[in-house]
Structure 1
């Protein structure tokens, strides 16, 4: 992951744990500012806050063991999103880096910006060193490949720091697809350049997207979704 920007852990969740995660999500309400539903997408932002029953399932899995290996001094969850790309979805994601973090309020701080404010809360692009501290873990609840919207990535692109939008198209040559089995996890650095195609399959692609970090933010600024997993 340090060199290429990603790695795949093929069996992070057992089948029963994957089924328990899906059951908890299926039983959840589907309204509110953190819920987004359309023909091509169902998403839940701050999903561990919206569905607290997910936390003990994840805490009992091998995820905490993985986090101890990634962050020996400890870490905290800073963002959680559930994505469902239904069968034959026309939703695609253009090439991008994950540059924004969710915070509790706006504050004028050196190196922080631009800022956004949406229904779900405030977000900001932090300094590079904060982004480099984050590890994204995408828990795949369905088998995922090129046909049903697996991520494409540009190997090593995370080492270049935040890239101007005008340079992204010129950096995508040699991109690779990152398949993962159901119950598997894709570990990814947020600065890794990535995208996904429209689904060409009758299979769904459901993913629990979790971001973890060990750093604290400055001068009273807080991670909006900060919580300990266990």
Structure 2
């Protein structure tokens, strides 16, 4: 029997919370690896309110082996029985008392190596050497985000708020998002736990009112292959 038993509830609600995916020693090793790495370059963003690292495994390759745990492999095996690959990895640190908030949105863009005129892909953005595009709906529908929590996280220190089932509405026009948030719920996750999320799920987070940090490793996985001419920028084989 599958260990995690994600099942149909995840498909219906668009998110799930797993109370334990990392052990205390695994958390400590991940934090040590991040803290001991040189923090410089355009993929690092550091301010009073946020510390973030884009292309996380490209910047800190040693994290790959630490993240490749038996538990994560088993989870991915349940989510993607035919195998999958990593498509994006980001580290988010919302420090204690951070004034950083994230407005309601969907994760609509993927990072690719180069721009190519492919039907169904667009609009495009390019910033700081990165190329991103909104892909075909089937790409977003077959992607799963795994947010690994390195600290206890609740409403006081920036836990995500989500609108259950909103991923089934397709792309929600920005001007109508506010009308969909009445049923929002806060996703509290303990240290070592994981939050699973569909990219099309409406989500947001408040400012922190706590003296506790909120450190998260955000991983996106897909079994989807991009059409000829396009390639995932951060693709790494996984399960």
- TM-score norm. by structure 1 comes to 0.98
The answer to whether the 8 Å contact 1:140/1:184 transfers is yes
- 8 Å CA contact 2:96–2:212 kept in 1: the answer is yes
1:208 aligns with 2:217: yes
SS of the residue 1:136 aligns to:
strand
Does 2:142 align with 1:133? yes
- Distance in 2 between residues matched to 1:120 and 1:36, nearest whole Å: 15
Does 2:45 match 1:36? Answer: yes
Alpha-carbon distance in structure 1 between the residues aligned to 2:23 and 2:103? 31
Equivalent of 2:115, from 106, 119, 137? Answer: 106
RMSD: 0.9
In the alignment, which residue of structure 1 is the partner of 2:24? Answer: 15
> Which contiguous aligned blocks of 4+ residues in structure 1 show a shift greater than 2 angstroms?
none
What is the number of residues matched between the two proteins? 230
CA distance in 2, matches of 1:221, 1:155: 32
Deviates more, 1:118-127 or 1:64-73: 118-127
Structure 1: gaps spanning 5 or more residues: none
Cα distance in structure 2, aligned partners of 1:132 and 1:29: 35
CA contact (8 A) 2:98 2:207 kept: yes
Question: In structure 2, what is the equivalent of residue 162 of structure 1?
Answer: 171
Does the 8 Å contact 1:37/1:43 carry over to 2? yes
Following superposition, the deviation at residue 220 of structure 1 comes to 2.4
Question: 1:59 — aligned with what?
Answer: 68
Do the aligned residues in 2 keep the contact of 1:43 with 1:82 (CA within 8 Å)?
Answer: yes
* Structure 2 unaligned blocks of 5 or more: 1-9
Counterparts in 2 of 1:67-216, with a 5 A limit? Answer: 67-216=76-225
